[in-house]
Structure 1
Amino acid sequence: MKLKSILAAGTAAALLVGMLVLPAGARSATVPAQQEVTQVVNALGIMVGDSQGNMQLDRTVTRAEFITIAVKASPNGDQVGEASTSPYPDVPYTHWAAGFVEAGVATGLITGYSDGTFRPSNQITLAEGVTIVLQLLGYSNEDFSGAYPTPQMALYHSLKLDRGLKAQNSSDVLTRYDAMYLFYNMLSTNTKSGTPYINSLGHSLNAAGEVDLVALINGVMDGPLVATGNWQSSIPFSLSGVTVTRDGEASSLSKVQEYDVVYWCQSMRTLWVYSDKVVGTIQAITPNTAAPTAVTIGGHSYELDSAAAVYALSDLGTYDLGDTVSLLLGRQGKVAAVTDPIATTSERCGVVTKVTRESYSDGYHSSYTADTITLLATDGNSYNYECTTHTYEVGDLVGVNIAADGTISLKRLQAAKLSGKVSSDGSKIGSTPLADGVEILDVYENSGTRVFASRLAGINLTQDMVSYYTMNGSGEIDRLILNDVTGDNYSYGLLTRMDVLPSGGLTNYYTYVYDVGGTTYTLPNITTGFPVSTGGVIIKGDLTNPDKIYNLTKVTATSISGNQLIASNRSYTMADNVVVYEYRNGSYYLSSAQRVQEKGLSLTGWYDKAESNGGRIRIVVAK
């Protein structure tokens, strides 16, 4: 293959190091996970799979395929259409890649052979692919001198475009796997002018200089669509073999139910499905019905996420204050649609965290006040409910029944005990299975955290750990309320200073300084002496006025592997929100597990309790 920048016979290509301006800052040499790489190139439409989503990563790449990928990875590359003429004798205008070959030649990314052919089926080598990518990054023939491809390959390695590629030598033939990683690496690489390449595609990197996958998918996701009637015909691609995620877990098309909310991405061949619904009386529409942005039901405000939801709650729509409705919730708990109460009976349960008096609309543009409970439900959200027949106290277990007509009734629940070891895959407690999407709430006093079944894997639950559970018609646990099992309700940090000031009398004064997630808190001259020393600590209660502070257990570690902290021949699971610090020049700085591992620093971990009891490494300090 001859590229335009190296077409002249004998064109030299050695890097002019003194003249070339390289991007500032060293990029991580860590190889990104294949799943993440695949999702990124799919989301951008750079590389996609076949009709079943198979990426065929082991197959070698032809010239026609590579230039197609390169053009799709360029600004406005998704706007390339069919070729108007045949760009080469062996690439007629009817060829599947003719439009991309024509565009690649027009932009100078590629050219044909001296005999006037393009040879679209020829395999492409690493050096040839690298040269095209460097041109996309803004480098031209003037940036190189010497023997091709030595300088191109030197720059390729210097820019860390080689992360994850299996091809090693310049003459190695590229596979689709290699091409995928090469273009993924290009996205976070600075162009010759000094800006990340992904900026030219209308996206950006996160604070760590990496492709922001969440923001990227947000930008290419379509929807929402309510799954009613023949909803599948509204998705603009075949759903055969499509990837489905429902309520954050891998699922299938057959699990999508009526009134679920669906989002999709054609290039990723993925559906994201959400099943949460709220039934109740509209208490407020804000800021007004002329241009509503949120609706309040059960004392909880929900942001509107679609034009249909906005219209339904506007002064032009169907619903007003005092009406009983169903809110169909999509991403981030936002309202995708508003409907009449869905003709099913639903139930919610949780723990009372607050009792107050609130104002309600009577449906006739007047209001009244009533006792109101705040219920922390097993779905992790808090809801307010009017109490008309019973009184409740903080800590009570309460069930909420919502009838098909939207009528809401509350009932005090009796404790339901359960014991057994959670299986290693988090699918059952003892011999009792957990339902798909089981709602689990771990409660400590008047606060709680929703956890997923996988978080409980391996824990031996005793009866005093389980406050309440319900089962569905299939004999599966579908709601579970725990009593302070995981420890995920607390704050964890580093106690960096503790001073004791004798008062001369019977009472001493104590000052504590601790860092939690990069924020420093000081308790000056208090009379409470907590039984702690400097190091990793657990903090219960308000961070500015805690109920308890005590030390975590310390372990000296050698490395980090995935979510495991390795200490000698033993490993400890790190919490999902583990906080990592670097200690430099007498101060602690927030860091990351990846960074401290790459720097080869000595590691100290701090855990709260045994992993079999739900414990995790909460703090890591690197020196």
Structure 2
Amino acid sequence: MNGREIVASLAVVLTVTSVSTMTAEASANFDLRKKVIGVSGIMSTANPNMTVTRGEFASMLVNASSYRSTVSGISNTSVFADVPRNHEYAACIRIAAEQGWMNGYLGGDFKPEESVTLQDAAKGVLGLLGYGNSDFTGDQSGSRLSKYHFLELDENLNKEAEEVLKKEDCINLFYNLLKTDTKSGTMFGKSLDCELTADGEINPFTMVDNSLKGPKIVRSKSSLKSYLPFKLGEANVSLDGESVSNSSDAVNVALESSNGVLVYYHSLSKTIWLYTVGNENESGRSAVFGEISNVVYNSADLMTPSAIILDDGNTYELTSTEMQFAFSSYGSLRVGDTVVLVYTMSTGNEGNETRTVIDYIED
């Protein structure tokens, strides 16, 4: 191969590598955005290639606003001729119209089943940021789109004003909205417990942690249903770290084969994390039920326990101040007490397993 051929071959390899890297980065970035929007409760992130109707978009706007906790399933009044009171999005359409986030059409229709355009969507998100008609002069639509671009609400969106939006576009749009400052200068996402990471992206973990409920042990499906503030069939369910499609059957199997199921849930996104007690997961959380047979103290600090041993013979490390206090002489747990431990497991270079307690439930 001559020098010219080598250069050409290297150019092809570098180009393919560059494209592959960019594709992987774009995919990872969208996965992050999808996770954030899913946790936020703004919209369902399933089927990202589906187009979004005007009714659905009105619902997204309301779910991103302070009205999300008060909106009801049925509107008291019918604001538009083609949106009856019992319409799925009637209440959200009424709020979006009253707040000036979306407009109806001449003749008194809203056209809730028509696809939403970028122009409609830009008006809606700018309204959430506090911008009204008085902030735009001349061509209102054109001025709004200019502001939309100036605020970089268009990041990862390549749409013209009259193009319709897919769910993927809305995921990007609302993610950008969360990072954008309102007209008054506050990051919009703070209202949904959003925090930025060092590289300027939204951290989905802090969003979950700020409003995560649990842990709780349930030993029957009726107990699980009474504990949850939403229907099991409407939820995104993860069992022992894996997503499950038929949550009812999966819960039945888990309950029949264990001492119960550990439950965490997130109301806004209707997400449930279930862990089978006694089933040890190599990644993520695990739960174990047992009797405390020993509390281990470090010889350098006789007041602070470093680990506990259950009657299964395993040692569970205590590394956080909260867990150390709970199992110390100042806490309420003693040798002989039964407890459910929530822990994570890691494997060292030599294959030794370390179990670290992150939470507990007195049985």
Aligned to 2:266: 265
2-side partners of 1:76 and 1:204: how far apart? 21
Task: Write out aligned runs for 1:267-306 (5 A).
Answer: 267-273=269-275, 274-277=285-288, 279-281=291-293, 283=295, 297-298=308-309, 300-301=317-318
Partner SS for 1:59: coil
Aligned to 2:339: 327
Aligned to 1:244: 238
Aligned to 1:44: 40
Task: Write out aligned runs for 1:366-405 (5 A).
Answer: 379-380=345-346
Point out where structure 2 has 5 or more consecutive residues left out of the alignment. 1-24, 245-249, 276-284, 298-304, 310-314, 356-363
Aligned partner of 2:30 among 27, 34, 37: 34
In the alignment, structure 1 residue 217 sits paired with structure 2 residue 217: no
**CA distance change for structure 1 residues 118 and 240 in 2, over 3 Å: closer, same or farther?**
closer
* Structure 1 position 302, deviation (Å): 7.1
TM-score (norm 2): 0.67
1-side partners of 2:135 and 2:28: how far apart? 29
Partner SS for 1:261: strand
Q: Which amino acid letter does the alignment assign opposite residue 208 of structure 1?
A: D
2-side partners of 1:140 and 1:75: how far apart? 17
Contact 1:279 1:326 in 2 (8 A): yes
Partner SS for 1:146: coil
In the alignment, structure 1 residue 442 sits paired with structure 2 residue 349: yes
Partner SS for 1:264: strand
Q: Which amino acid letter does the alignment assign opposite residue 146 of structure 2?
A: A
* Structure 1 position 118, deviation (Å): 1.8
* Structure 1 position 169, deviation (Å): 1.0
Aligned to 1:144: 136
Partner SS for 1:145: coil
* Structure 1 position 227, deviation (Å): 4.3
How many pairs are equivalent? Answer: 292
* Structure 1 position 187, deviation (Å): 0.3
Indicate the RMSD between aligned Cα atoms, in angstroms: 3.8
1-side partners of 2:146 and 2:353: how far apart? 51
2-side partners of 1:174 and 1:137: how far apart? 20
Partner SS for 1:115: coil
2-side partners of 1:270 and 1:164: how far apart? 30
In the alignment, structure 1 residue 109 sits paired with structure 2 residue 107: no
* Structure 1 position 283, deviation (Å): 4.0
Point out where structure 1 has 5 or more consecutive residues left out of the alignment. 1-28, 50-54, 286-293, 334-378, 381-439, 452-623
Partner SS for 1:76: helix
* Structure 1 position 48, deviation (Å): 2.0
Q: Which amino acid letter does the alignment assign opposite residue 55 of structure 2?
A: A
Task: Write out aligned runs for 1:168-567 (5 A).
Answer: 168-230=159-221, 231-233=223-225, 234-235=227-228, 236-239=230-233, 242-244=236-238, 246=240, 249-250=241-242, 252=244, 253=250, 256=254, 257-266=258-267, 267-273=269-275, 274-277=285-288, 279-281=291-293, 283=295, 297-298=308-309, 300-301=317-318, 321=334, 323-330=335-342, 379-380=345-346, 440-443=347-350
1-side partners of 2:93 and 2:172: how far apart? 22
**CA distance change for structure 1 residues 199 and 113 in 2, over 3 Å: closer, same or farther?**
same
2-side partners of 1:193 and 1:301: how far apart? 45
Partner SS for 1:244: strand
Instruction: Say which structure, 1 or 2, has more relative contact order (CA 8 Å, 6+ apart).
Output: 2
2-side partners of 1:170 and 1:320: how far apart? 63
Aligned to 2:58: 67
Aligned to 1:120: 112
1-side partners of 2:134 and 2:80: how far apart? 28
Contact 1:443 1:449 in 2 (8 A): no
2-side partners of 1:106 and 1:181: how far apart? 25
1-side partners of 2:339 and 2:295: how far apart? 13
Partner SS for 1:263: strand
1-side partners of 2:56 and 2:169: how far apart? 13
TM-score (norm 1): 0.41
2-side partners of 1:110 and 1:240: how far apart? 28
Contact 2:193 2:207 in 1 (8 A): no
Aligned to 1:94: 86
In the alignment, structure 1 residue 162 sits paired with structure 2 residue 164: no
Q: Which amino acid letter does the alignment assign opposite residue 275 of structure 1?
A: S
Contact 1:198 1:205 in 2 (8 A): no
Contact 2:51 2:115 in 1 (8 A): yes
Contact 2:296 2:308 in 1 (8 A): yes
Partner SS for 2:205: helix
Q: Which amino acid letter does the alignment assign opposite residue 160 of structure 1?
A: E
Partner SS for 1:174: coil
**CA distance change for structure 1 residues 305 and 171 in 2, over 3 Å: closer, same or farther?**
farther
2-side partners of 1:41 and 1:64: how far apart? 18
* Structure 1 position 138, deviation (Å): 1.7
Partner SS for 1:168: coil
Contact 2:58 2:93 in 1 (8 A): yes
* Structure 1 position 325, deviation (Å): 3.6
Identical columns (%): 26
Q: Which amino acid letter does the alignment assign opposite residue 297 of structure 1?
A: I
Aligned to 1:421: none
**Per-residue CA distance 1:47-87 (angstroms, 9 max, x = gap):** 026xxxxx232222222111111011112323211311111
1-side partners of 2:262 and 2:41: how far apart? 24
1-side partners of 2:143 and 2:103: how far apart? 20
Contact 1:282 1:320 in 2 (8 A): no
